[in-house]
Amino acid sequence: MSHTSRAIRIDRPGGPEELKIVEVEVGEPGPGQIRIRHHAVGLNFIDTYQRSGLYALAMPLQLGMEAAGVVEAVGEGVTHLKVGDRAAYASQPPGAYCELRVMPATCVCKLPDTISFETGAAMMLKGLTAQYLLKKTLPAEGLQPGDFVLFHAAAGGVGLIACQWARALGLQLIGTAGSDAKCQLALEHGAAHAINYSTEDFAARVKEITGGKGVKVVYDSVGKDTFEGSLASLRPFGLLASFGNGSGPVPPFNTALLAKGSYYLTRPTLFTHIATRESTQAMADDLFDVVGSGAVKIPIAQRYALADVQQAHRDLEARKTTGCTVLTL
């Protein structure tokens, strides 16, 4: 039996104008799959990379990496979910920009009743990213309460979650953002310090804040524009975790740059960390706990109807958004 669903598809890489609403047929789940009806869909910067072709994927492509809704059908071998369960996910392959989909069940988690569908859709990819960064992507000397970390794009979806989570862990998070208003937002969400990188030399300010020492780790989703400054912000044996390309990919560089302080460099991805059902659930449980406790609140600052997805992408790329953004159904 098939079902009809509205979905957002692109037939070729390009700008937001390539995002089209189409009607698709959705069938029954196969082994290891579920069918889920979405109540809300999360919007993420990685969606723009896939749309533009920066991350090359086969066409036509249905975008979207996270959503929340209700399980309608369960395929053979799926034991952690049942029909009627509230659920949320951050998952590959893309395809969340729709009303209904069949997808692998591995990364789909039961959503606690205390967490709304919109919050679930907004927090899975961004919250799990903050989790693996602050809990698993650590410098050689580890992180202890009181340590300084630098987090770029601190007023974005991942950033505002990381500001709160870092505070809960006792870390002193130095956030950067592109305006004074965004810096204030980061401070209100738990950043110990905030730097407007459009008006200040952030590396120089980091050294000033840390008494000339630098930070143990830089979490950098901006990429090209911040890479060298991020290295300059590290203390000896510090770690640069480059986890995004908001300003474009980091160009080829001489690894001798790392010799200045015996620095470490990594390019982590969420999907390496959630490659198994066990790791996905453990990370999700950590996220659900910290959100459920109130230590981390999920800031949904923008809502767009599914039909307005082109405008949502324009606003995201123009840095007009803060916190999390969801598409409503």
C-alpha 175/C-alpha 157 separation (Å) is 13
- The helix (run of H) or strand (run of E) holding residue 166 is helix 157-168
pLDDT of res. 1: 78
CA distances from 208 to 26, 192, 196, 230, 232 (A): 56, 14, 14, 14, 12
Strand-by-strand arrangement of the 193-196 sheet: 193-196, 172-177, 148-151, 215-220, 234-242, 264-266
Q: Which residues contact 217 (CB under 8 A, 6 or more apart)?
A: 137, 138, 139, 143, 149, 150, 234, 238, 239, 240, 241
Q: Answer yes or no: are the C-beta atoms of 151 and 239 closer than 8 Å.
A: no
**pLDDT < 50 positions in the chain:** none
Give the chain's domains with CATH numbers: 3-126+271-328 (3.90.180.10), 138-267 (3.40.50.720)
C-alpha 189/C-alpha 291 separation (Å) is 14
Structure tokens at 252: 């080829």
pLDDT of res. 182: 95
Exposure letters 45-84 (e unless 16+ CB within 10 A, then b):
bbbbbbbbeeeeeeeebbbbbbbbbebbbbbeebebbeee
pLDDT of res. 222: 94
Q: At residue 166, what are phi and psi to the nearest 5 degrees?
A: -60, -45
- The helix (run of H) or strand (run of E) holding residue 286 is helix 277-292
Q: Which is it for strands 33-43 and 324-328: parallel, antiparallel or unpaired?
A: antiparallel
Residue 29: cis peptide before it, omega within 30 degrees of 0: no
Residue 31 Ramachandran class (φ > 0 left, ψ -120 to 50 alpha, else beta): beta
pLDDT of res. 91: 87
pTM, two decimal places:
0.93
Burial (CB count within 10 angstroms: exposed 0-12, middle 13-18, buried 19+), residue 286: middle
pLDDT in tens, 217-253: 999 999 999 999 999 999 999 999 999 988 888 999 9
pLDDT of res. 59: 95
C-alpha 248/C-alpha 169 separation (Å) is 31
pLDDT of res. 247: 84
Q: How many other CB atoms are there within 10 angstroms of residue 32's CB atom?
A: 15
